[in-house]
Chain A
Amino acid sequence: MRKVAIVGIGHGKFGVRSDASLRELAFEAVKACLDDSGVPLKEVESMVTGIAGDEFSIALQPSAQVHDYIGFDPKPNFRVEGACATGSMAVRTGWMNVASGLADLVLVVGVEKMTEVPTSMATDIMGRGGDATWEYPFGTTFPGYYAMIANAHMAEHGTTEGQLAMVAVKNHYYGSLNPYAHMQKKIDLEKAMSSFTVAHPLKLFDCSLITDGAAAILLASEEKAKAISKKPVWFAGLSLATDTMRITERESLTSIRASREAAKIAYKMAGVKPSDIDVATVHDCFTIAEIVAYEDLGFCEKGEGGKLIEAKETYVGGKIPVNVDGGLKSKGHPLGATGVSMAVEITKQLRGEAGERQVKNAEIGLTHNVGGTGQVVAIHIFRRE
C-alpha cells in the first residue's frame, strides 16, 4: 500500500443553515479545501461523498447533487454511508483510492442537511438508526439508546450526572473558540445540570446537535503530497469494526465493542500506544459516549472515564486533550460531515494552525467516529513528519 496524506482541508459553518441547500453547503467546504491545497478541481481524479440520510436530504442520490454542483462530472464519485460514522467511512474510502494506486488525488466531502425536516421527524429518522424492526416499536430514540448506556455505566462504575455535565462544559468551552461551531457559547455546570431531561438521565446539554454542515479534505499520494504541501499530514493507522444491530445483544452495555476492536487494529497499524496520542477527536454524540470512548480507546482504565474528565485531563494541557474543537456536542453533528470534520481538526492541530485551541507540538492525532449505537466504528491515526 502507498502512503497517503491530507494536503487540503475545508470546513463550512456548522449550524441551522436555513440559508443553504445540501449541495450549496458541500460547495462551501470543497471551495475552502481546494483554496487551502492550491490544487484546482480539474487535477482531482476522483471523489468520495459521505451523506448518511436520503430521508434528511429528501432525495435518492444526494451525492449526485454534490458532484453536479461542484462541477466534477464526468469523473467518478462514490457515496458511502454508515449513519453517524459516514464521514470517517468516506475518509477511509478516499484513503483506499489513493493507497491502492487507483488515483493520486482524491477529494473527500462529508455533508448533511438535517434541519430541512422537523425535529420530531429527525428524531424519528435517527431512531431508526437502531433496529427499525425490533427496537423502534419501543419508542427508542438516539438519546434513548445512549441513556440506557449511561444508566448501565452509572450503575456499574459509579459515573455521575455531574461528570456527564463536565464533558458538556468542556466541549462548549472549546466550541466557543471555534468559529465553525454550531453553538459558540460557553455553559457552566449549573446550566448543564438544570436543562430539561431528553431521555433519563441525559439532559439537553448531554446531547449533540441536529446540524447542517459540510467538511472536505484532499488526499494525495506521497509524491503528489510532497509537491503540493509544505505540511502534509499522513495516515498512520486506520481501522473499521462492527457490532450487532441491536444493543440488546451487546456483550457489554458500558462499552462499545467495535471501538475497542478498531482501536486495537489502528494502534497496531500505526505502531503507537494510547499514551502516544497528543490530541483526539472522539464521538461525543452524547456526553456519556465521550466518557465511554476515553475507556474504549485506552486513554484511561475501564470505569475511570468519569474521573478523567473530572480531573480535567482531557482539556488542552491535560493528559490527553479530547474534542478541543467543541466536539459533536457544541460544534454540531451533521452526520455525513462529522468524520471529515474530525480529520480537518486533527490536520489543523498537527499543522499547528488551531489557534487558541492548539495542543502544543502535537505530532500524533486520532479520530474516533461511531455509527449508530456502535454498529460500526472507524478510527484513524494521523502523524506529521
Chain B
Amino acid sequence: MEFKNFSLAINQTKVSRFANDLAVGKIMSTSCKKCGKKYYPPRADCSACMNSEMEWSPLNGEGKLVTFTKIYVPPEHFAVRQPLMPFSSVQFEPCPVGIIEVEAGLRIMGWMPKIDLKKIKIGMKLKAVPQVLLDGKVTIVLEMI
C-alpha cells in the first residue's frame, strides 16, 4: 500500500510501512536500538542520539484524551470532494478530532466519528484503532472503551 493512503499527499518516506500496518490493524511506533527512545509517529532516525537503527513495535492504543476539537470549516482537500472527508455522510457535518496519550509523552491523533461533541470530556478513556475507509484509504479513529 502507498503511504499516501494515510498521509494524503506525501508518499516518499523511510517509514512508509506505517500505512500497511494500519491496514492490518496495527498502530506502529519505532524505538531506537541504541538509546531506547520511543517515537510516535514513527521515525527512521533517532534525534536523541542520531542513530538510525530502529525497531518497530505496535502500540496499545488505550489512553486518556488530552484535547479535541470539531472543525466546521475544513481545508479544501476535505471540503471540495466530500467522499474524502472521512465519516462525513452529510455535507459539512464534520467529525471531531482528538489527541490521546497512550504512554508518557506518546500521543496519537485520531478522528472521533462515533462520539457526540457534547459527550467529549478531556481526560476520558479512549482507544485508538486503525480503520480502512471505503475508498481504500487508511486512518485512525478514537473509540470509547
A residues at B contact (CB < 8 Å): 118, 120-121, 123-124, 126-128, 132-141, 143-144, 147-149, 151-152, 155, 196-201, 246-249, 253
Contacts and interface: CB of A to CB of B under 8 A. Distances in A.
B76 A141 contact: no
Contacts of B66: 152, 253
A141 B75 contact: yes
B74 A138 contact: no
A139 B122 contact: no
Interface of B: 6-10, 13, 41, 66-80, 85-86, 94-97, 99, 105, 107-111, 117, 122-123, 139
A144 B139 CA distance: 18
B109 A134 contact: yes
B109 A123 contact: no
A123 B95 CA distance: 17
A133 B97 contact: no
B77 to A, nearest CB: 6
B8 A248 contact: no
B71 A141 contact: yes
A149 B10 CA distance: 26
Which of A136, A137, A144, A247 counts the most B-chain CB atoms under 10 A from its CB? A137
Nearest to A152: B67
Given A148-B69, A247-B99, 5 more contacts: A151-B67, A155-B67, A155-B122, A248-B99, A249-B107
User: DSSP class of A's interface residues: helix, strand, loop or mixed?
Assistant: helix
B127 to A, nearest CB: 16
5 contacts: A120-B79, A124-B77, A139-B97, A148-B67, A253-B67
Contacts of B95: 139
Nearest to A198: B73
Contacts of A253: 66-67, 99
Nearest to A248: B107
Contacts, number: 111
A123 B68 contact: no
Contacts of A246: 41
The 5 lowest CB-CB distance pairs between A and B, nearest first, are A147-B69, A124-B75, A124-B76, A120-B76, A248-B107
Nearest to B96: A200
Contacts of A140: 71, 75, 97, 109
Nearest to A254: B67
Contact of A136 (B8, B70, B72, B94): B8
Contact of A200 (B13, B72, B123): B72
A76 B7 CA distance: 39
A198 B109 contact: no
Given A124-B77, A136-B9, A199 B41 contact: no
Nearest to A202: B69
Contact of B72 (A149, A198, A249): A198
A253 B109 CA distance: 14
Nearest to B7: A133
Given A137-B6, A253-B67, A127 B75 contact: yes
**Best-surrounded residue of B13, B94, B110 (most CB of chain A within 10 A):** B94
Nearest to A253: B67
B72 to A, nearest CB: 5
Nearest to B8: A137
Contacts of A136: 7-9, 75
A132 B79 CA distance: 17
B72 A199 contact: yes
Nearest to A153: B67
A184 B51 CA distance: 54
